[in-house]
Structure 1
Amino acid sequence: MNLNKRLVAALVGAIAAPLIVVIGPAAIASAHGYVNAPASRQAQCAAGTVSCGDIKYEPQSVEGPKGLRSCNGGVARFAELNDNKKPWQAAGVGQTVTFNWTFTARHRTASYQYFIGNTKIAEINGNNQQPPATVSHKVSMGGRTGRITVLAVWNIGDTANAFYSCIDLNVGKS
């Protein structure tokens, strides 16, 4: 009987070990960074300003391959970030906007990029250094006025991925 218990225990261990290896890293990989001011779309979800799904629990996790131009970074479960019909609050700003990033895991940084549509309005070199817990960039809106959406991109230096944040703004003249 003792031998049977050992066989059952070994069998359970052999089945469970691969599952733990596969599930374990996914469960602990929580993530990374986003623009929290002016409030990005995922920051608005996390704060409950706009009703959202899973993104409200992990605003820092909008990670996808470098080079995308979507608010959700290509992550299907965060697709609502691309929905311009949601009541995103637009921050009133002047011609220069300070974007504040918050990081929960600080990866070496290749660059930060800011886009309006497909037009890059700023790029800041990250010098392949690990950033502090928060980073701020002052970015010119280039004379644009009215309601716009800025896509902020944090390009990671040691992976092929980037983190994406869309920020809705109401740009005034200054």
Structure 2
Amino acid sequence: MTRKLTIPLFCLAVLAFPILVAGVAQAHGYTAKPPSRSYLCAQGVVTDCGEIQYEPQSVEGPKGFPGSGPDDGTICAGGNGRFAELDDPRGGAWPATSLTSGAGYDFVWHFTARHATTSFRYFITRDGYDPTQPLTRADLEPTPFLSVPWNGIRPTGDVTNHGTIPSGKSGRHLILGVWDIADTGNAFYSCADVLL
């Protein structure tokens, strides 16, 4: 009787293992400082977030931004329709982190899975950005204000990138963090609303 029960349980475990491993392998990372929209959803600070509240680390899309990558209006979700709530500007009411224009700041990526990394890049919106509209390339300064090359190295833990908030900025802005992966065709996108 015990043998009859053991074999089906073993088979069930063998079948379930790849599914469990695949679920873990799909986990990746997001900016925790300043807190990204996906992080705020996962923490329950923002509600009605859909699936992203359960997997804030999964905002993965094609790399090559800004020349390629997610379409305009879908950048905060990495072009992934499952996470479209991140592209909803919510009337410009996303919680914003207060930062100081021209001051130094430690940008932190939190990882649930670590990938060989090409770089971390940070873009900020132009003056006159309208926070009530979905993010487009035209809303962003054309070049990142901070680029940190990693040359294919795999992070061993969370990563802090020290940079300077662009001077002369004021009011509500958005910082787009892009984590470029070295060994896949993808990058991770992380939008953080800030007040300067």
**4+ long deviations beyond 6 Å:** 22-25
Larger Rg: 1
Q: How does 1:6-155 map to 2 (within 5 A)?
A: 26-51=22-47, 52-66=49-63, 67=65, 68=69, 70-85=75-90, 87-95=93-101, 96-116=104-124, 117-119=140-142, 120-143=144-167, 144-155=169-180
Counterpart residue number, 1:12? none
Contact 1:36/1:43 (<8 A) preserved: yes
Greater alpha carbon shift after TM alignment, 136-145 vs 104-113? 136-145
Structure 1 Cα separation of the partners of residues 183 and 157 of structure 2 = 18
Structure 2 Cα separation of the partners of residues 25 and 118 of structure 1 = 39
Q: CA deviation at 1:122?
A: 1.6
Give 5+ residue unaligned stretches, structure 1.
1-18
Structure 2 Cα separation of the partners of residues 121 and 62 of structure 1 = 21
Aligned residues: 156
Give 5+ residue unaligned stretches, structure 2.
1-14, 125-139
Structure 2 Cα separation of the partners of residues 100 and 107 of structure 1 = 16
Structure 2 Cα separation of the partners of residues 113 and 27 of structure 1 = 27
Q: CA deviation at 1:23?
A: 6.4
Higher share in strand: 1
Greater alpha carbon shift after TM alignment, 62-71 vs 38-47? 62-71
Q: CA deviation at 1:141?
A: 2.5
Give the 3-state SS of the residue equivalent to 2:89 in structure 1: coil
Identity of aligned residues (%): 45
TM-score under structure 1 length normalisation:
0.80
TM-score under structure 2 length normalisation:
0.71
Of the three residues 189, 192, 196, the one matched with 1:164 is 189
Q: In angstroms, what is the RMSD of aligned CA positions?
A: 2.4
